Structure 1
Amino acid sequence: MNSWANLGFDLHVELPHGIGVRAALLQTLRDAIDSGLLKPGTRLPPSRTLALDLGVARNTVADCYAELAAAGWLVTRQGSGTVVASLADAHIRGTDPSPTRPRFTYSLLPGSPDASAFPRAAWISSARRALTAAPNDAFAATDPRGRVELRNALTTYLSRARGVRVDPSRIVISASSGHGISLLARALGGAIAVDSFCLHLHRQLLVDEGLRTVPISVDESGTCTEELGSTSTRSALLTPTHQFPLGGPLTPARRATAVEWASSTGSVIIEDDYDGEFRYDRKPVGALQGIAPQQVAYLGTVSKTLSPAIRIGWMVLPDRLIEPVLATKGPYERWVSSTDQLTLADFIESGRFDSHIRKMRATYRRRRDQLVATIAQKVPHVRIEGISAGLHAVIRLPSGSEQAVLTAAQTCDLSLEGLSTFRHPDVSPVGGDGIVVGYSTPTQSQYPRTLDVLCEVLQTALR
């Protein structure tokens, strides 16, 4: 039976010249701990392993470990090896003692699912099954379209659940919807129509790729697509199922107008179906792509349904865009892990994806209802919009009060995003005050207290 002492691992050590070996090793280890290169809790190699690597006597290394342990730099325990002591924190200069500490205690930022609800056991099960069955080429450079197993699984799922007209050859896997937008922007170029209120991060991606963004109006019925014909653009970025951030679905008449514009002008609509699986008080709204597959480039992702930590998105492209996008992406799939793609394929085909979505749909509906009820009870003079679907709601505020609410939120350690964050820079800032509340973001245990803090903020700022 192997003991820990028989296991070896690397430690990069360069001993200074001009002093003895023992003094050089002591100095090198102290400097590494002092500078933070060796962090508290880091396990050091066994003395025998490090001695062999350095070409010095084992006793020299053992003596250095013992001296550093006596001085409080290291901790040596029988059977556990030698680790950098936690007390060495006092020696580390210029490092953040808690770099991962969140800035705010409470968060209602939109755009994230409840991270604690990630289906870990089911995902691990799918990973095990997928990797066991994976062909050898899954561990080599692969098709820039993405793994065929995932494209096949998405073909079945998207046509069944979202009404997308698709076959595997028209799917290109991306690292996220943002990655897909960047690739499409490079392929399209020119000017692009965007909603006057939209996800600012995606709008910035378009600008970064050299596109000029032209704002068009939005209201409770979604994008005012009748304005598309008066622009000089030949592409548009829309969220037809659930307009972000205002929340309205694109009406059938406006869908028809958008498709007619694209068909008559040869334009392309980029459809960001970012949270189409989550609807509560209305019938399912299918993808716009299902009406006009050769005019619409459809984007989807698991960032809302599963986790933004799983960097997988997809594009369903019109035939004319497949080769330009692939040429922009490159000859190999360098963006998305093949093993994650295989895992997601199994997760979908096994039915685990649908089960998780149904569970989270019920969870988020309860949270939506709790938000509405709490606001109605404690802050009845504000209005909530965009609540029939998705993972966020908009709380409308009196004109000129948005910044006061955000300032009060910061004081109460609550992270919020104002509606003005999503306003196009060419649109007048007059009116339209509000906050965008991501009710899916907190954990279940944090949610009630987070709502209480939100109400305290609104009561304080709007009194």
Structure 2
Amino acid sequence: MEDFWSGVGVDLHLEPDAAEGRRAGLERALRDAVREGRLAPGTRLPATRRLAAELGMSRGTAKAAYDQLVAEGYLRARQGSGTEVAALPTDGMAPAAGDPHTRAPRFDLRPGSPDVGTFPAAAWLRALRRAIASAPSMAYDYGDPRGRIELRTALSEYLGRARGVIAPPERIVITSGYVQGLALLTRVLDGGVVAMEDPGLPFHRDVVRRAGGRVVPLPVDERGLRAAELGEEDAVVVTPAHQYPTGVTLRPERRRALTDWARAHGRLVVEDDYDGEFRYDRQPVGALQGMAPGHVVYLGTASKTLGPALRLGWMVLPPHLVDAVADAKLHSDHHTESIGQLALAEMLTAHAYDRHVRACRLRYRRRRDQLVSLLGAHRRVRGIAAGLHALVEVPDEAEVLDRAAREGLAVGRLGDHWHTPGEGRPQGLVVGYGTPRERVYPEALEALGRVLGGVRRGRASTR
């Protein structure tokens, strides 16, 4: 058996069996590589002359093997372009054409994502070029688990100015998104009992549980988290700027109750500020962290402002937690990738990030206004003052979701967010107006209008 490496633009690794004969062994090795997916469709193969020279066989033998696999449909030969791997039929079952629940949605109004088509590619590229041009060589080595000092310094200025966060650079840890930050913090707390909003995002509850924490529900009403019901829990996770999924903003007296509880019991408040920059009726509400920086962990990300694919988040920690979280980060993934950190630092320092957030705020406000106009005064809708989603109350989620599926429309379901689903719970649609691309958003709203138009009306009020 002979191993070899070759390639035109790619390295090619095969193991032809000499016992089968040169041609048969090459055919079998190539055929297996294509079947197993090690050679992807479109991969260009070496010229027969080069392949034959590396294998120590005649060019005619190599050409005959190629010709056989072309005839079998594994390879494709193009005049002037050489030989490449063909796309094979898949064995997977396609969704049934008549089942609307298995088709990919035509319109996506699910919450949780921004319009990724608005990613500021030109501004990011400029920032990336400037960052790389000025980066020290050590930026390409292993780094501080807390993150690049350039980004931590830029975030310190930005968060203090725009969100009211007390954030010295030495108390900031850069993470690969919110989920990693929440998991790291739960590990540092050695599990413990963590109160989480009810309703809230099930995935975040799973993150806490998988990191060793025990989750208990804490109800949310029209004034936000019911902080007065906190007891001996070790920590509480809250979304004060725009609660997910109800959309309410935590009222001032509840904010004070949270920080008073944390101080009195030596406990921790975890503030998830995932879309705190997007407020439409007035200036964005300042972060809770500024009220009790010694007892509040502030978590933010670039996922809603720039895009989830960047995987850039940050934690602003009380002094006594910095070293422990940095050590947990070190033993989790050492540190978040550095080049993206440098680019974001450049955007923040040059205020390109501020300009992008302001442009997005105006764009999403127009979308919010279009949604409110569609709903009119005939449906009860919450959470329209901020964020990228709204909660539309409906009398029967199952009926509405069935109609939505037939329209090719995907929306969120309030019932999925309760800690313990059951009868008697309020029902509603969680409508995300950030996800669709600009050109399809009006059509998505029309589909939503058709869905809601065929459902019994609830109480006629809007807030």
Alignment TM-score, normalising by the size of structure 1: 0.90
Give SS of 1:436's match. strand
Contact 1:199–1:422, Cα closer than 8 Å, also in 2: yes
What's the counterpart of residue 114 of structure 1? 115
1:214 is matched with 216
Q: 1:382 to 1:94 in 2, by over 3 A?
A: closer
Q: Offset at 1:89?
A: 2.5
Q: Within the alignment, does 1:13 sit opposite 2:14 as a pair? A: yes
Contact 2:33–2:39 (CA<8 Å) still a contact in 1? yes
Residue equivalent to 2:88: 89
Q: Does the 8 Å contact 1:142/1:333 carry over to 2?
A: no
* Aligned-partner residue type, residue 306 of structure 1: L
User: SS at 1:450's partner residue?
Assistant: helix
Partner of 2:402: 407
Count residues with an aligned counterpart.
445
Q: What residue is the counterpart of 2:57 in the other structure? A: 56
Change (3 A) 1:6 1:145: closer
Q: Distance in 2 between matches of 1:16 and 1:313?
A: 50
Q: Secondary structure at the match of 2:195?
A: strand
Cα separation, partners in 2 of 1:412 and 1:47, compared to 1, 3 Å: same
Which of 420, 434, 438 is the equivalent residue of 1:440?
Answer: 434
Give, in angstroms, the shift of residue 347 of structure 1.
2.0
Distance (whole Å) between structure 1 residues aligned to residue 440 and residue 103 of structure 2: 14
Give, in whole Å, the separation in 1 of the partners of 2:219 and 2:367: 30
* Shift in Å, 1:172: 0.5
Shift of 1:51: 3.5
Alpha carbons of 1:95 and 1:78: their partners in 2 closer, same or farther (altered >3 Å)?
farther
> For 2:80 and 2:151, how far apart are their aligned partners in 1?
45
1:321 aligns with 2:315: no
Cα distance change of structure 1 residues 331 and 201 upon mapping to structure 2, 3 Å threshold: closer
**Structure 1 match to 2:388:** 391
Do residues 339 (structure 1) and 339 (structure 2) align? yes
Any unmatched runs of 5+ in structure 2? Answer: 1-5, 96-101, 458-463
Task: Note the C-alpha offset of 1:49.
Answer: 4.2
Residue 455, structure 1, aligned to residue 449, structure 2:
yes
For residues 41 and 290 of structure 1, do their structure 2 counterparts lie closer, same or farther at Cα, with a shift above 3 Å needed?
same
1:382 aligns with 379
Alignment of 1:203-282 (within 5 A): 203-228=205-230, 231-282=231-282
Cα distance per residue 1:424-460 (max 9 Å; x no partner): 22x7641311111001111111111111111222223
Aligned partner of 1:104: which letter? P
Which range moves more in the overlay, 237-246 or 127-136?
A: 127-136
Mapped to 1, the partners of 2:140 and 2:331 lie a distance apart of: 16
Structure-2-length-normalised TM-score: 0.90
Residue pair 1:223, 1:238 contacting (<8 A) in 2 also: yes
* TM superposition outliers: structure 1 runs of 4+ over 6 Å: none
State the SS of the aligned residue for 2:51: helix
Q: Find the aligned partners of 1:388 and 1:145 in 2 and give their Cα distance.
A: 34
Distance change in 2, residues 1:50/1:460 (3 Å)? farther
1:135 aligns with 2:136: yes
Deviation at 1:54, TM superposition (A): 3.3
Q: Assess if the C-alpha contact under 8 Å between 2:272 and 2:300 holds in 1.
A: yes
Secondary structure at 2:174 match in 1: strand
Structure 2 contact 7–46 (Cα < 8 Å) conserved? no
User: Is the 2:235–2:267 contact (alpha carbons within 8 Å) kept by the matching residues of 1?
Assistant: yes
What code does the residue aligned with 2:271 have?
A: E
After TM superposition, give the deviation of residue 235 of structure 1 in Å.
Answer: 1.0
Q: SS where residue 371 of structure 2 aligns?
A: helix
Distance, in Å, in 1 between the alignment partners of 2:350 and 2:39 is 44
Listed one character per residue, the Cα deviations across residues 326-370 of structure 1 (whole Å, up to 9, x for unaligned) are: 222225853521111112111222222111111111110000000
| CA RMSD between the two structures | 2.4
User: Per the alignment, in what secondary structure is the counterpart of residue 454 of structure 2?
Assistant: helix
* Partner-residue secondary structure (3-state), 1:297: strand
Check the 8 A contact 1:10/1:45 in 2, yes or no. no
Greater shift, 433-442 or 132-141, is seen at: 132-141
> 1:237 aligns to what SS in structure 2?
strand
Helix, strand or coil for the counterpart of 2:381?
strand
2:19 partner SS: coil
Could you tell me how far 1:102 is from its partner in structure 2?
7.7
Superposed, 1:354-365 pairs within 5 Å as 354-365=354-365
Other structure's SS at 1:215 match: strand
CA distance in 1, matches of 2:23, 2:66: 11
Shift, 1:316, TM fit: 0.3
> Is the Cα contact below 8 Å between 1:281 and 1:388 reproduced in 2?
yes
Do the aligned partners of 1:194 and 1:237 also contact (CA within 8 Å) in 2?
A: yes
Percent of paired sites with the same residue: 47
